[in-house]
Amino acid sequence: MPDGSTSSVRLFDANSETSASPHKPLIVIWPGFGMGARYYDPIALELAARGYPTATGELRGQGSSTAVASRKKTWGYHDLASQDYPTTVRAAKKELGLAEDHPTLLLCHSMGGQIASLFLARPEAEMLNVQGMIGVGAGTPYYKSFSGDSKRRLLFGAPVMGIGSLLIGYWPGGKLDIAGYGRQARAHTWEWFRFGRTNTLRKLRGQDRNYMDALAQVDSNVMLTRFTNDDDCPRQSAQNLVDLMPCANTSVVELKGGLGHNRWARQPHIVVDKLEEFVDEAKISVR
């Protein structure tokens, strides 16, 4: 990565299976906050078994990433969208023997979808022929979209993380980490907290464009899904994220099955079935 850290890309080559199809897009999976790429192996294996070349990236500082947040080392939404996402997609295509413009679909969990929306608003996404995103439990953290314990965590827990990361220089995790996100970078945590208060992504660390204006020009295919028992991503949270992309072909879909915010990655059939419907409807394939 540009900051000198390394991050493994987990590859699942459909070409090693008899079901492989040269007409299917590359699927790149992006984890949620505090989750490593390995957690998503079951859904990656299911996608590969259905003929999709598949890769799983890491959010910086999580899983196999060697980046360690500190007072001197920080990163935010823009760094991941402009550096980590395109670097990972390029590396996956190179190792899988795919052309740089091979059609690509992002499968994103929670925070992974927030960053992916910014990636879609960048020229690198067009260069890499990223044709869309399907999110699972992905939405904005705007507190007014939530209720009950989830709203209380955002109202009271998020400020502790956001302000605490500014004071300490990073979010250390440990005993105060009631959300279970682990050690996180100061800029990323602060920007997430601010996103949850304003429902906007402005003045991001190092940004090279006005992302709110850029999001308004995204014209990709975007489907955000949520399981009906996912209290960490209410329907309005997902709706808020697609509303940032008014020119995109968007939809919000509720899924039955009781798999909540995380378990769908380990029990993947419902999400993969929906992904295949999305690929067919959006006509995402190799011409």
Can you say whether residue 258 is alpha, beta or left, with left for phi > 0 and alpha for psi between -120 and 50 degrees? left
pLDDT above 70 coverage of the chain, percent? 95
- Annotate 64-102 with b (16+ C-beta within 10 A) or e (fewer): ebebebeeebbbbbbbbbbbbbbbbbebbbeebebeeeb
How high is the pLDDT of residue 18? 40
The yes-or-no verdict on residue 55 having pLDDT over 60 is: yes
Candidate from 14-23, 24-33, 66-75, 123-132 with smallest mean pLDDT: 14-23
- Residue-level pLDDT at 287: 62
What's the whole-number mean pLDDT along residues 235-260? 98
Q: Are strands 104-109 and 130-136 parallel, antiparallel or unpaired?
A: parallel
pLDDT digits (tens, 9 = 90+) for 104-113: 999 999 999 9
Domains of the chain: 10-141+208-282 (3.40.50.1820)
Beta strands in the chain (DSSP E): 10-12, 26-30, 54-56, 104-109, 130-136, 170-171, 184-185, 221-227, 249-255
Across 79-91, average pLDDT: 98
**Would you place residue 16 in the very low, low, confident or very high pLDDT band (cuts 50, 70, 90)?**
low
| Mean pLDDT computed over 102-130 | 98
pLDDT digits (tens, 9 = 90+) for 163-179: 999 999 999 977 666 66
Q: pLDDT tens digits, residue range 154-164?
A: 999 899 999 99
Closest CA to 31 of 56, 12, 64: 56
Q: What is the mean pLDDT of the chain?
A: 94
Share of the chain above pLDDT 90, in %: 88
Q: Would you say the C-alpha torsion 206, 208, 213, 214 has a positive or negative sign?
A: negative
**Distance in angstroms (rounded) separating the CA atoms of residues 54 and 43:** 10
Dihedral, CA of residue 259, residue 11, residue 56 and residue 182, to nearest 10? 90
pLDDT of residue 19: 46
Query: According to the model, what pLDDT value does residue 177 have?
Result: 64
- Which of 132, 107, 116 lies closest to 222 in space, CA to CA? 132
The predicted structure's pLDDT at residue 3: 84
pLDDT number for residue 20 = 44
Decide if pLDDT at 17 tops 60: no
What is the pTM for the complete model shown? 0.95
3-state secondary structure 189-207: HHHHHHHHHHCCCCCCCCC
What's residue 14's pLDDT? 76
Residue 267 reports pLDDT greater than 70: yes
Mean pLDDT of the 191-207 span: 97
